[in-house]
Amino acid sequence: MGLAPATSGTVRLDGEVISGLPYAQLRPLRRRMQMVFQDPYASLNPRKRVADIIAEPLQVHGIGTAQDRRAKVQELMARVGLPVDAGGRFPHEFSGGQRQRIGIARALALNPALIVADEPVSALDVSVQAQVINLMVRLQKEMGLSYLFISHDLAVVHYIADRILVMYLGKIVEVADRARVWKQPLHPYTAGLLAAHPAPDPAGAHRPRVRITGDMPSPTNPPSGCRFHTRCPFVENRCTAEAPALRALPDGRQVACHRVEVTGAGEARSPSEILSLEPITAPAPV
């Protein structure tokens, strides 16, 4: 989105490098990518009426007449489940879930291909989270959207994601499709996250147990070598001295771990599988 400058790496949209582009070149690309922010209270201008908030992207990019924009706003409000006659109200007159729907409607105004959703339900009550997530799933199917969905909630990730990228202290440690991550996590951090997340899933009843111990290091002063080595139960000397590269595996997954092995048949084995740790006991149903 270019809201903050990148400090390293590159950002690509449909294969085109967009990081570092001057504003004049980046501005038209923003029509293809929009953002839904984490805080539905802080991300809406409290002095603007809802109809004006939703119409703002159209106005900024000079799309349509005033009448066209009013019609588009009503269409978007109906699409996200807001009363179409509520456009004259202010954000403080809406609940948290409704405010996030306003943010989603604003993001859809330009018919983007990609929506970056930064923890879009973490600030909402659990009862409202499901409504917003179901709305996003429906909109994705209806409009052919792609989401870059950022979340720490594994239940939400499992529900909405097709492909998952796991990060630790700013580094990618594993990339795989949803089913593979849940069935056979390769990186110890991924396995530890799943082990700490209680879920009534019989398929995960015998997943090897990995415990994440210790305190998280400072992100501003991360450990040398593998950033996870201070908390990893499989650490070896190489891990403390050499940062593992993110490597592609024959089955399409990617992982950054020295201890992950690939068999002669091209099958990946996680450290916990190699060392045959104690299996997890499935939680008793509530």
- Which portions of the chain are predicted below pLDDT 70? 199-208, 275-286
Please give the model's pTM, rounded to 2 decimal places.
Answer: 0.85
196 & 113 share domain: no
CB neighbourhood size of 93 (10 A)? 12
Is the CA virtual torsion 64, 29, 1, 15 positive or negative?
A: positive
Residue 207 lies in a domain: yes
202 & 256 share domain: yes
Structural domain of 225 = 165-275
169 & 249 share domain: yes
Give the helix ranges, DSSP H, for 80-168. 96-108, 126-143, 154-160
Structure tokens at 16: 């085109």
What pLDDT is attached to residue 116? 95
Collect contacts of 229-235 with beta carbons under 8 A, ≥24 apart: 231/189, 232/188, 232/189, 233/188, 234/188, 234/259, 234/271, 234/272, 234/275
Which candidate, 200, 191, 206, 197, places its Cα nearest to that of 259? 191
What pLDDT is attached to residue 280? 40
153 & 41 share domain: yes
What pLDDT is attached to residue 193? 93
248 & 266 share domain: yes
Phi, psi of 174 (to 5 degrees): -160, 140
Which candidate, 54, 42, 45, places its Cα nearest to that of 80? 54
Rounded CA-CA distance 158/135 in Å is 16
What pLDDT is attached to residue 44? 96
Is the CA virtual torsion 140, 95, 155, 262 positive or negative?
A: positive
